[in-house]
Amino acid sequence: MTTTNAVLQVGPLMPAVQDPITTEYGAVRLPDNADERAAFLAARGAEFGVAVTSGRFGVGTGLMQQLPNLRAVVNFGVGYDTTDVAQAAERGIAVSNTPDVLNDCVADTALALYLDVLRRISTADRYVRRGDWLSKGNFPLATKASGKRVGIVGLGRIGKVIARRLEGFDCLISYHNRRPVDGVSYEYRDSLIDLARDSDVLIVAAAGGPDSAGLINAEVIEALGRDGYLINIARGSVVDESALVAALVKGKLAGAGLDVFADEPRVPVELLGLDNVVVLPHLGSGTHETRAGMAQLTLANLKRFLDDGTLETPVH
């Protein structure tokens, strides 16, 4: 492998990242147009040793194959399922992400969805704006948010922060992981079906990628049941979206709060008319403070790799 420090930008990035990688490191933007991209990679693919991208775009299988001298993928975002990490491992390509700095805001988003869906906050807001309070009288009753049995799928960094917030609502928390987590008092369930069956609310905080694709399938949704609620702040791929839509349309789930979808920014049209579903445009980490922290960590990873070939926050 030829050693090169040339930087390739894959996909759009926020100015706090894009501007410095361009001015300080001479980053070149990969064309978005398919024909232009193919010609660019054929002519210049071997030039680049580092790719800077985001969780939405990543460096997928085909693109990585066309970058023969790639040594690192620096990712803006905690999720890296759009990057071919298996090929990266085979080729010795280092991959970084931006963990921890977004834990609080993503957990806050989960809590906001939890409260909104159960207490029907968004629906009530629309009720007032339409003039229904005046013409139809009091808004229908909602569901108590405190004291619920909450199952968390994926008790990692973000899952733990979500759990701590829900403790303040006197919730009974249990979780499902590949293996039990040390140092927590929450009940571990090795069966996802059992977790769903014994939960009032199921919160999905699992990492994306092939291993978790369709993890929340029709059987899990059926176990959660018509009185259960699903909250997803992980990745759209973790949930069988067709099964979820069918359950919601048929009244086999009480409601859902969704920040992520299988084919973003496309949202299943069936969900848009349901008042028991809250849909957000993948804004889990979308605050000024958190995005600034993510940008700083992305640049720190890039600088360190170019300085000494290591990363601040490597993905293992």
Where in the sequence numbering do the catalytic residues fall?
A: 235, 264, 282
Q: How far is CA 138 from CA 68, 128, 145, 276, in A?
A: 64, 10, 20, 18
15-40 in b/e form (b: 16+ CB < 10 A) is: eebbebbbeebebbebeeeeeeeeeb
- Residues 6+ positions from 143 with CB-CB distance below 8 Å: 118, 119, 120, 254
Both tokens of 275, joined, read 């008042």
Q: What is d(CA 187, CA 191) in angstroms, rounded to the nearest whole number?
A: 12
Helices 15-23, 288-308: axis angle to 10 degrees equals 30
Both tokens of 197, joined, read 């069956």
Both tokens of 103, joined, read 């834990």
Quickly count: other Cβ atoms within 10 Å of residue 51's Cβ: 27
Q: Which helix (H) or strand (E) is 203 found in, with range?
A: strand 201-204
Which one, of 106, 98, 88, 23, lies nearest residue 50 by Cα? 88
Burial class, 211, CB count within 10 angstroms (exposed 0-12 / middle 13-18 / buried 19+): exposed
